Amino acid sequence: MLLDVRGETCPYPMQKTMDALDRLPAGEELEVLVDHPPAVETIKWLAARRGFAVDVEPIGTSEWRLRLRRKEGVVAR
């Protein structure tokens, strides 16, 4: 699943990511494109709370691709 929240500021990147995680089918990975620096830290922390591992990859000036996937043993809601 791909979620592009570039151009959005707080709290939309976090809220849309959390909503997408709730809908994410089992076994799938969520890819988030974001250009709001505070959101990178907050999404990492909020996703960890829900049992997701997050990889952060810079893809340009102040732009990141986040890959979120469920840690082992965490089941889809």
Partner 1 sequence: MAKPIVAFAQPAFRAHPQTLAGLLVLAATATVILIVSRRDAEFGIFAALGLGFGAALQRSRFCFNAAFRDLWQFRSGRTMKGVIVGMSVVTAGFGIHMYTLLPNPSLGVVAPEAHATPLSLALIVGGLLFGIGMVVAGGCVSGSIYRMGEGYVASWVSFAGIMGGLLLAAHTWNWWWEHFIRDAPVVWFPRYLGYGGAVALTLAGLLGAYLLVLWIESRGGPDIREAAQPGPVETFGARVRALVHAAVGRGWPAAVGGIVVGLLNIFSYDVHMPWRVVGEVSRWATGLGGLVGVAPGPLLGTEELAACTLAVGGGLLTHGLLLNIGLFGGSFLAALLAHEFKVRVPRNPVRYLQSLAGGVAMGYGAAISLGCTVGAFFSAIPSLALNGWVFALALAGGSFLGLQVIRRIP
Active site residues: 10
Residue 59 exposed, middle or buried by CB count within 10 Å (0-12, 13-18, 19+): exposed
What is the footprint of partner 1 within residues 36-55 (CB under 8 A)? 36-38, 41-42, 45-46, 48-50, 53, 55
Whichever of 11 and 23 has its CB closer to partner 1, that residue is: 11
DSSP-assigned beta bridge partners for residue 34 = 64
Dist. CA 65–CA 61, nearest whole Å: 12
Please report whether residue 65 would count as binding partner 1 according to CB under 8 A.
no
Please report whether residue 11 would count as binding partner 1 according to CB under 8 A.
yes
H/E stretch holding 14: helix 12-23
Q: Which residues bind partner 1 (CB under 8 A)?
A: 6-11, 14-15, 18, 35-38, 41-42, 45-46, 48-50, 53, 55-58, 61-63
